[in-house]
Structure 1
Amino acid sequence: MEPMDVDDFQNASDAFLKWLTKSGATISPNIQLADLRDRAAGRGVVSTKNLAEDEELFSIPRSSILTAETSDLPAAVRKEIDHPWLSLILAMVYEYLKGDDSPWRPYFDLLPESFDSLMYWSDDELQYLQGSAVVDKIGKETADSTFSEQLIPIIAQHTDTFKTAGRSNDELLALCHRMGSTIMAYAFDLEKPESEQNGKTDEEWEEDEEESATLPKGMVPLADMLNANADLNNAKLFYEDDKVVMKTIKPVSAGEELYNDFGPLPRADLLRRYGYVTDRYAAYDVVEISSDLIKEQTKAQLKLSEQEIDDKWQYAEEQGVGDDAYDISRASNEEGQFPDELCVLLNLLATPKAEFEKLKNKDKLPKTDLTSDAKKLLRAVLVHRYAAYPESSSSTMDQDLTGRRAMAKQVIDGEKQVLQEAVAAVTEANTNKKRAADTLEDEANAIRQPTKR
């Protein structure tokens, strides 16, 4: 698809704002929907005058939020699917296929037709992310199966309703993916109004956190035009009974862009969900350590039998510290580089058999401070995890990378930095003076390409 020229781009923005205002939204005269393509940011919302803290930027009636319920999708069809994501995808497919007959057309005209999120990367392109656990979280095959089994049959049963004449199942599947990616990148969890959240007990808040994954999804026009920035976040969406309101959370100077925030997302997840990366989220990079790698290195480093490892792991799971994987964070992370659960687990694995039996009989666990043996085990785990990434390159060609390959390199470099910091934090415990390698990269290369004997 050819990029829009300036006039077409602006005309689409103007038509959208006119439509949104007509639908009942109120928009501050002190902001504008701006063309930020010159900084590779698409559209964005920019202040035209100085804004005070807690100043209302715009309000959107709940009736103007695109959901399965606010779309014109017939209720009888809507009832055939009971899932927040899938019902919204179905509604958006319906509205999109209506074309000019859809009241949401000016909104769809602003939404992207293509994405750089990982769902759309080829197998060759995904090789650029070798080593990152994010590749296993894309879920394309699962999405293909879900759409093919749950959405395509509904659409096929109602061809007149969806106006699908002449469209193949492959085309409809691609459209489902496009709408799913749009929701992932732009939709909001439609929280309850603030008035319904006041006075809750801690237990009720915890229940809300657990249920957040099942909150209804909605496309909030204009709110989704704010770009995100962890450092410069200056606006937030508030939920009221009959509308949602975007407000400033700090003073904003004239000419400044207004930013929402995704929360502490690693750059790998930014790329997976939104199709871009930025150094502003580098502080949230993590590396996932699998339970299989920990067990493998426990056997190699501590010379434990598989039965001993299984016994300790089962006890760890019973005590709530055994898991499928653990995230290693940056040294600057306020909550620490290593999760408490991982530290307790490593101490447990490094505990002598007799001591382990005592802990088990008392229904207790080791402390979180890593013992010397646990640090050695952790270091071995980290080095082997590092070896899963490609060898570092000092080639000047890497500095000239663009597009998806450049974004992948940022993710990989960030995750390797996390591991470098983590190894540095536990290296003092490594007393193996016979180690042939004297750098992390050398050690990793020895694992990647073991010397034949």
Structure 2
Amino acid sequence: MAYNDTIIRQASSSLEGCNERQTSFLRWFHESGGWLNPKCRFADYETMGTGMVAGEAIENDEVLFSIPRHTLLNIQNSSLGVFCKAYDGQQKNSIVVESSAAPSTSLKWDDVNVGWQGLIMTMMWENFRATEEGRAAFEEFCQTNKEWIAAFPAEEHDTQNENEVAIVREARANMEWGPYLKILPQSFDTPMFWSDAEVEELKGTSIPNKIGKEEATAGFVEKVRPYIEEHASIFLGTLADKPGALDKYYSLEHFHMMGSRILSRSFHVKSGSNKDDRGNGDRSGEDDGENGGGDESDDDSDEEGAEEDESIDNISMVPMADMLNARYECDNAHLFYKTETLEMHATKRIEAGQQIWNTYGEPPSGDLLRRYGYVDLANPCDIVELPMESLIAGRLLLPNSPSKESLLARMAWACSLGMDEVSPLTYPFPLSPEPPYRPDHQGLTKRDYREIAMGMPDDLLVLARVLCLTEENYTKAASKDRLPNPKFDAVERYANGQEIGVTQILLKALEERKKDYPTSIEEDEQLLYPALGQSNNLSLNRRNAITVRLSEKYILGETAKMVEAVAEAVTLKRRLDSQANGSNGQNKKSRKA
């Protein structure tokens, strides 16, 4: 498989050869207590941005870098939440903030600190404080209101010792992430920032419904921006009355940019413990609004600990760790956490000149594009979603079908008993190593197809069976709240003698699902891989969109072939059974005679 791993520039040492932003970040990292193995080098790639390579051979389990927990950019380490909570309660506590703007809304910090909004606001605020005018404005604000600040109530995670509380608060107030924020991506190739015409290229995939731009914008307009405006003294300090200051630091564009940084680079990081724990430092996990992130969990955690991992409060931006790129089955580094630090270790020997990769898990190209703005040319982890609407559409095309309303009611009943509305389909075969990277099933027989088909999602087979049932059998099943078993060869005989089977519904559903795409496999292949001598003039975004939708069509096509093989076997088996039953009946008549 061909990748463009061209290095534009590589540092000759941990500092020499770095650009200005990289140098500033490294100095900040070291001054904040971080440690970087001198064998590691920054490298700028033509298609992957900044990554890290081994300047010298690195041994297995060698520490690549160590990150102090206080450098993690999260809601707990920033003092924004402390200021906002105190400001929200100032009237109750009879504390007056010297500001031209007083709160006039019922919105409180806990109202806006929902999903990723709190962390996005924190990052925008820290970005403001990292500027020269922002730093001066905030320092002047703190000096003017030092008595009010000194009266802040202790937080739950603060020690009750007054001296230690003061030390912790001073450390938070003095912690700045400016050099780190400046080294983060300044632009993204994710669909969040695509034009409407470019998003249209994703038609048929599930990505457009998962971008979440409209929902994020609504959250900003309805809650975040009003809260910031009415707490301008906190968010702008003495610049609260300066015209244009809010738009300069807290615009919708800034909001989406910070959200995309979280989406592509954040980690789930558990709080420290009294012992040194090792956990999975993979950047993976589900979204929650304008969000993203990774997973930092303890291999030995119990159920309660696992729930803690999923808490939004544990989402952090992790300086240095988020510099590593990722690629399927290329990972050679892993993030482990200790009580006071996070450590990135090599998981195998890394030769000099090799890139250092940290895994994101095994996400499909659709998730890679939506989160990080890139796709793998041939990703065996790709999936295509087959929703229940496709199953219903397929059933309606077959004889003896109940009404659409009746089928929807059946699906609602099945889902109420735990069935998923959407079934993910994956590649059943390995992919060819050469363009156009079609599934490679050379030498496979129909029997192989049937055996592989047995790995299809059970929920999908159950839903298809529910749609197969005669009205009488469905009524019996519903009265007992008992779903049918996931049988591929299940067939229902109707009163008129016609038979409807699971394979028939699946084949029709797959046909209907293919119609969601505006182009065919052949058209997409021609666009991505033009004939020899012809140039590919596609933009990056369009190329990525076509790559995703072409892969999904491949999966649908291969799945249909598997189902067809099963359908043939089912038909043959029923024919043989029928012949056998006929022979048995004839033999019985002969014996009677």
Shared fold per TM-score greater than 0.5: yes
Q: Could you tell me which of 448, 454, 470 is aligned with 1:352?
A: 470
Q: Could you tell me which of 252, 256, 260 is aligned with 1:181?
A: 260
Q: Per-residue displacement from partner, 1:103-162 (whole Å, max 9, x unpaired)?
A: 222112211221111111111111111211111111111000111222112221233433
Distance in 2 separating the partners of 1:258 and 1:62: 22
- Equivalence for 1:293: 390
Preserved contact between residue 346 and residue 370 of structure 1 (Cα < 8 Å): no
Q: Could you tell me which of 217, 233, 236 is aligned with 2:315?
A: 217
Q: Could you tell me which of 398, 402, 408 is aligned with 1:305?
A: 402
Q: Could you tell me which of 340, 349, 372 is aligned with 2:458?
A: 340
Which has the higher mean CA deviation after the structures are superposed, 172-181 or 326-335? 326-335
- Name the SS for the 1:60 alignment partner: strand
Count of residue pairs brought into register by the alignment: 421
- Equivalence for 1:104: 177
Distance in 2 separating the partners of 1:20 and 1:236: 20
- Equivalence for 2:37: 28
Alpha carbons of 1:53 and 1:336: their partners in 2 closer, same or farther (altered >3 Å)?
A: farther
Query: Cα distance, 1:288 vs. partner?
Result: 1.6
1:385 aligns with 2:513: yes
Q: Which structure 2 residues correspond to residues 251-400 of structure 1 after superposition, within 5 A?
A: 251-279=349-377, 282-306=379-403, 308-321=406-419, 323-332=420-429, 338-360=456-478, 363-371=481-489, 373-392=501-520, 393=523, 394=526, 396=530, 399-400=536-537
- Name the SS for the 1:19 alignment partner: helix
Preserved contact between residue 236 and residue 248 of structure 1 (Cα < 8 Å): yes
Query: Cα distance, 1:385 vs. partner?
Result: 0.7
Q: Per-residue displacement from partner, 1:354-391 (whole Å, max 9, x unpaired)?
A: 44445445554333231261111111111111111122
- Equivalence for 1:48: 55
1:425 aligns with 2:562: yes
Higher helix share: 1
1:402 aligns with 2:556: no
Query: Cα distance, 1:279 vs. partner?
Result: 2.5
Q: Per-residue displacement from partner, 1:55-96 (whole Å, max 9, x unpaired)?
A: 111111110111123234361216714335222111111111
1:117 aligns with 2:187: no
- Name the SS for the 2:66 alignment partner: strand
- Name the SS for the 1:276 alignment partner: coil
Q: Which structure 2 residues correspond to residues 426-445 of structure 1 after superposition, within 5 A?
A: 426-428=563-565
Q: Which amino acid is 2:543 matched to?
A: A
Distance in 2 separating the partners of 1:134 and 1:193: 36
- Name the SS for the 1:227 alignment partner: coil
Alpha carbons of 1:426 and 1:160: their partners in 2 closer, same or farther (altered >3 Å)?
A: same
- Equivalence for 2:330: 232
- Name the SS for the 1:133 alignment partner: coil
- Equivalence for 1:448: none
Q: Percent identity?
A: 30
Distance in 2 separating the partners of 1:128 and 1:31: 39
- Name the SS for the 1:66 alignment partner: coil
Which has the higher mean CA deviation after the structures are superposed, 323-332 or 172-181? 323-332
Distance in 1 separating the partners of 2:329 and 2:272: 27
Q: Per-residue displacement from partner, 1:211-259 (whole Å, max 9, x unpaired)?
A: 6153521111110000011211111111221111111122211221111
Query: Cα distance, 1:293 vs. partner?
Result: 2.4
TM-score, normalization: structure 1? 0.84
Q: Could you tell me which of 205, 213, 220 is aligned with 1:132?
A: 205
- Name the SS for the 1:58 alignment partner: strand
Preserved contact between residue 236 and residue 246 of structure 1 (Cα < 8 Å): yes
- Equivalence for 2:76: 69
1:413 aligns with 2:444: no
Which has the higher mean CA deviation after the structures are superposed, 289-298 or 132-141? 289-298
Distance in 2 separating the partners of 1:234 and 1:180: 28
Distance in 2 separating the partners of 1:121 and 1:198: 38
More relative contact order in 1 or in 2 (CA 8 Å, sep 6+)? 1
Q: Gaps spanning 5+ residues in structure 1: where?
A: 432-453
Which has the higher mean CA deviation after the structures are superposed, 390-399 or 291-300? 390-399
Higher radius of gyration, 1 or 2: 2
Preserved contact between residue 40 and residue 56 of structure 2 (Cα < 8 Å): yes
- Equivalence for 2:25: 16
Query: Cα distance, 1:351 vs. partner?
Result: 2.7
Distance in 2 separating the partners of 1:24 and 1:296: 60
